[in-house]
Structure 1
Amino acid sequence: MKLLKSVALGSAAAIVMMSGAQAADLPGAEPVEYVKVCDAYGAGFFYIPGTDTCLQIGGLVRFELTGVADRHGDDDDASRTGFRTRTRLWFDARTDTEYGALRTFVRMQFQKDSGSPGSLGQTTGLDGDDFLFDQAYVQFAGLTAGVTDSFWDFKPYPTFAIPFVSDRTLPALAYTAKFGDVSASVSLEDKTYRYRESANAQPNAGQTMPDIVANLRVKQGWGEAQLSGVASRINPMKNFADPITGERGGDNGWGWGVQAGFKLNLPTANTSDAKGDFLWAQAAYTDGVGLSYNGVGDQNFGSGRTQNIANFNLQRDYLLIGGETEKTRAFSANLGVLHYWSPKWRSALHATYIDVDYRRVDADWRTGALIGNLIWTPVKKLDIGAELSYINNMKKSQVAYKGTSDDDAFVGRLRVQRDF
Structure 2
Amino acid sequence: MKLVKSLLLGSAAGLTVVAGAQAADLPIKKAVPVEYVRICSAYGAGFFFVPGTDTCLRVSGRARFEAGYSQSYQRGGNNGDLMGYRGLGRLNLDARTQTAYGTLRAFVRFELASRTGAYLNSGTQQRIGNAFPALGVDTFGRAQQYVNVDKAFIQFAGLTAGRASSFYDFYSHDFEIIGSSLGSDVASTNLLAYTATFGQGFSATISVEDPIFRKNPLFGTATVGNAASQFAVFTAGASNLSPVVATNAAGVPIGEAFYDLRQTSRMPDFVGALRYDAAWGSAQVSAAVHELNAGNAASVLTFGGATIAAGSVVTPRVNTEYGWAVQGGLKFNLPFIAAGDALYLQGSYGEGASMYTGYSAYIGSYTASAAVTQGSNFAPFFVDAAVNPLTGKMELSTSWTVVGSYLHYWAPEWRSAIIGSYGEMTFGKTSRNLLGGLNFNGLGNPVNSPGAFLFSSALRDTSQVVAGANLIWSPVKDLDIGLEGLYTRVDLKGGGRVIDVNKAPGAVAAGVNGAGLPVNAAGAVLPTTNYADTFQVRMRVQRDF
TM-score (norm 1): 0.82
Quickly say closer, same or farther: Cα 1:50–1:349, change in 2 above 3 A.
Answer: same
Matched, 1:191 2:211: yes
Matching residue of 2:178: 161
What percent of counterpart residues are identical?
38
How far 1:388 moved relative to its partner? 0.2
Q: 1:293 aligns with which of 345, 351, 356?
A: 356
Matched, 1:149 2:162: no
1:60 partner amino acid: R
SS across alignment from 1:236 = coil
How far 1:196 moved relative to its partner? 5.4
Range with bigger deviation, 24-33 or 215-224: 24-33
Matching residue of 1:417: 542
SS across alignment from 1:407 = strand
Distance 2:490 2:530 in 1: 9
Q: 2:412 aligns with which of 343, 356, 380?
A: 343
1:353 partner amino acid: Y
TM-score (norm 2): 0.64
Matching residue of 1:208: 266
How far 1:269 moved relative to its partner? 6.6
Distance 1:81 1:326 in 2: 40
SS across alignment from 1:312 = coil
Matching residue of 1:123: 144
Distance 1:38 1:234 in 2: 48
More RCO (CA 8 Å, sep 6+): 1
Matching residue of 1:281: 345
1:318 partner amino acid: A
Quickly say closer, same or farther: Cα 1:296–1:401, change in 2 above 3 A.
Answer: farther
CA-to-aligned-CA distance 1:301-321 (integer Å, 9 cap, x gap)? 99xxx9744992112111101
Distance 1:200 1:153 in 2: 28
Distance 1:160 1:329 in 2: 29
Matching residue of 1:223: 281
Distance 2:363 2:27 in 1: 67
Distance 1:192 1:101 in 2: 31
Matching residue of 1:389: 486
Matched, 1:86 2:155: no
2:143 partner amino acid: Q
Matching residue of 1:236: 294
Distance 1:280 1:28 in 2: 62
How far 1:190 moved relative to its partner? 0.6
2:211 partner amino acid: K
Distance 1:295 1:214 in 2: 17
Matching residue of 1:60: 62
CA-to-aligned-CA distance 1:264-292 (integer Å, 9 cap, x gap)? 00124754xxxx00111111001113x22
Quickly say closer, same or farther: Cα 1:227–1:186, change in 2 above 3 A.
Answer: same
Matched, 1:174 2:193: yes
Matching residue of 1:138: 154
How far 1:26 moved relative to its partner? 6.8
How far 1:250 moved relative to its partner? 2.6
Preserved contact between residue 372 and residue 532 of structure 2 (Cα < 8 Å): no
Matching residue of 2:31: 29
Distance 1:411 1:84 in 2: 15
How far 1:192 moved relative to its partner? 0.7
Matching residue of 1:366: 463
Matched residues, number: 376
Preserved contact between residue 111 and residue 148 of structure 2 (Cα < 8 Å): yes
How far 1:118 moved relative to its partner? 8.1
How far 1:172 moved relative to its partner? 0.3
Distance 1:279 1:235 in 2: 39
Name structure 1 gaps, 5 residues minimum.
1-20, 126-130, 242-247
Structure with higher strand content: 1
Distance 2:155 2:48 in 1: 19
Range with bigger deviation, 324-333 or 61-70: 61-70
Quickly say closer, same or farther: Cα 1:200–1:97, change in 2 above 3 A.
Answer: farther
Preserved contact between residue 499 and residue 529 of structure 2 (Cα < 8 Å): no
Quickly say closer, same or farther: Cα 1:351–1:299, change in 2 above 3 A.
Answer: closer
Matching residue of 2:243: none
1:175 partner amino acid: Y
Name structure 2 gaps, 5 residues minimum.
1-22, 119-137, 218-232, 237-259, 300-315, 433-458, 502-527
